[in-house]
Amino acid sequence: MEQTAKLIVDGKTYELPIVVGTEGERGIDISRLRQETGLITLDPGYANTGSCKSGITFMDGEKGILRYRGIPIEQLAEHSTFTETAYLLLNGELPTREQLTNFSILLNDHSLVHEDMREFFENFPRRAHPMGILSSMVNALRAFYPQLPESSEDENVNVMSTRLLSKVRTMAAMSYKISKGHKVVYPRHDLTYAANFLNMMFDSPVLPYRIDEVLVEGLNVFWILHADHEQNCSTAAVRLVGSARVNLYAAISSGISALWGPLHGGANQAVVEMLKEIQANNGDVKPFIKRAKDKKDPFRLMGFGHRVYKTYDPRARIMKKVCDKVLNRLKQKDELLDIAGKLEEIALKDPYFIDHNLYPNVDFYTGIFLQALGIPINMFTVMFAIGRLPGWISQWRESIDDPQWKLHRPRQIYTGSKERDYVPMKDRNSSKGKP
């Protein structure tokens, strides 16, 4: 029997259908609300708004659950590779051996970047942020590969998806090499996706890069953990921009821009900067905890809190183990990891953090891992972006196939001036005028 919710407005009762998801989560379908009642809902930040139905990723923020296509993140992190997980997200099922081989061949085939694009890279100011460069370059792909799919069934959708997955990784490494004024290293057919990336970043004519399987495994896990996260800010941006039926490159470019923000993907960089600040402050975490709790201070403990997780982020738990393993392998002791541990210990016992349900999120440990790999700090968010690509592309593909597809166009409650007349310049009182 269909469940409904009752809404009473001005004495009149409206019945609104309740939609139930496969994991039992429930939402009130208000798609006919305005038509029937003349009212809209107001939900700043969309914290209570479901923008779509999706069969890709399930998360339960209260229980700390994350699953891609039904498979728990813990199992994927333990057994899968990033390439296999990307296939799963894009196609809905784990690949057979043959399907995975074909997918890897396709990724290799599309790994090179058009040589003319190098000029673009070289003309960005040396200090330009790599996320700005990446978002512009992804948008520019449209000009280099103008053939767009006619429909979602078109084989070109697969080609565009693999092109993005493969080329964004190459472009990220390329921008790093160019920013250093070093020779660009090309992708190699004989290397796996993650090993290829590390080689393109760190191989040099004077010092060949030695690929270490523990680092490759760590990078695979890092990217798997970032591969999708249902309707987060950047994915919502991809869906919103994509809803105007713009091409995939432009939609992904907007996702990259959204991810850049320090409250979203930029947090991994912000965490390491914060930990370094604590280090410079003799490793004393208490003043930082105090500042984070002070309502008059805009400072926040970076890497803590999440819009959906109200418990420990399952990705943070996995990432912490990866950090330990990689640092052990490199025989490194990172003082920042100790500071992070101290911060976590104190914050988790503090009533402010307990009452606000603030726990470490994935970004709390990823910066330390990326630093151990040798990734420069301004490339951290680019690493997140490479990982999030399969999610963005899968969500875009799902949205263009959605029978309930609609142009995203939220409404508002207007709070500005009532209607008033235009005042000619000569009659305006400058002392009253604002700017």
Per CB under 6 A, contacts with ligand CMC among 218-247 are 229, 232
Give me the least distance between CB of 366 and ligand CMC, in Å please. 9
263 forms part of the interface with ligand CMC (CB under 6 A): yes
302 forms part of the interface with ligand CMC (CB under 6 A): yes
Q: Using CA atoms, how far apart are residues 392 and 380, in angstroms rounded to an integer?
A: 18
Per CB under 6 A, contacts with ligand CMC among 264-283 are 264-265, 267
Q: Which of 361, 371, 381, 399 binds ligand CMC (CB under 6 A)?
A: 361
Sheet strands side by side (includes 57-60): 57-60, 65-68, 71-72
**Phi, psi angle pair for 313, to nearest 5°:** -65, 120
Closest residue to ligand CMC using C-beta atoms = 305
Q: Which stretch binds ligand CMC (CB under 6 A): 70-78, 214-222, 259-267, 416-424?
A: 259-267
307 forms part of the interface with ligand CMC (CB under 6 A): yes
Active site residue 427: no
Give me the least distance between CB of 101 and ligand CMC, in Å please. 32
| Residue from 110, 226, 229, 306 carrying the catalytic annotation | 306
Q: Which of 304, 359, 369, 396 binds ligand CMC (CB under 6 A)?
A: 304
Give me the least distance between CB of 396 and ligand CMC, in Å please. 18
Sheet strands side by side (includes 4-9): 4-9, 12-20, 26-28
The string over 58-96, giving b where at least 16 C-beta atoms fall within 10 Å of a residue's C-beta and e elsewhere, is: bbbeeebbbbbbebebeebbeebbbbbbbbbbbbeebbe
Q: Which stretch binds ligand CMC (CB under 6 A): 135-143, 156-164, 358-366, 398-406?
A: 358-366
Q: Using CA atoms, how far apart are residues 377 and 366, in angstroms rounded to an integer?
A: 11
Do the beta carbons of residue 68 and residue 89 sit within 8 Å?
yes
Per CB under 6 A, contacts with ligand CMC among 281-300 are 292, 300
Do the beta carbons of residue 257 and residue 237 sit within 8 Å?
yes
Cβ nearer to ligand CMC, comparing 344 with 363: 363
Q: Which of 305, 314, 367, 390 binds ligand CMC (CB under 6 A)?
A: 305
Please choose, from the candidates 304, 383, 369, the residue with its C-alpha nearest in 3D space to the C-alpha of residue 337. Answer: 369
362 forms part of the interface with ligand CMC (CB under 6 A): yes
Give me the least distance between CB of 265 and ligand CMC, in Å please. 6
Active site residue 408: no
Q: Which stretch binds ligand CMC (CB under 6 A): 8-16, 120-128, 137-145, 303-311?
A: 303-311
| Residue from 203, 228, 313, 363 carrying the catalytic annotation | 363
Cβ nearer to ligand CMC, comparing 61 with 149: 61
Alpha-carbon torsion, ordered 353, 355, 356, 362, to 10 deg: 50
Do the beta carbons of residue 158 and residue 99 sit within 8 Å?
no
Tokens of 293: 């709790």
320 forms part of the interface with ligand CMC (CB under 6 A): no
Cβ nearer to ligand CMC, comparing 259 with 326: 259
394 forms part of the interface with ligand CMC (CB under 6 A): no
118 forms part of the interface with ligand CMC (CB under 6 A): no
Exposed/middle/buried for residue 406 (C-beta within 10 Å: 0-12, 13-18, 19+): exposed
Which residues of this chain interact with ligand CMC, rule CB under 6 A? 229, 232, 263-265, 267, 292, 300-307, 356, 358, 361-363
Annotated active-site positions, please? 306, 363
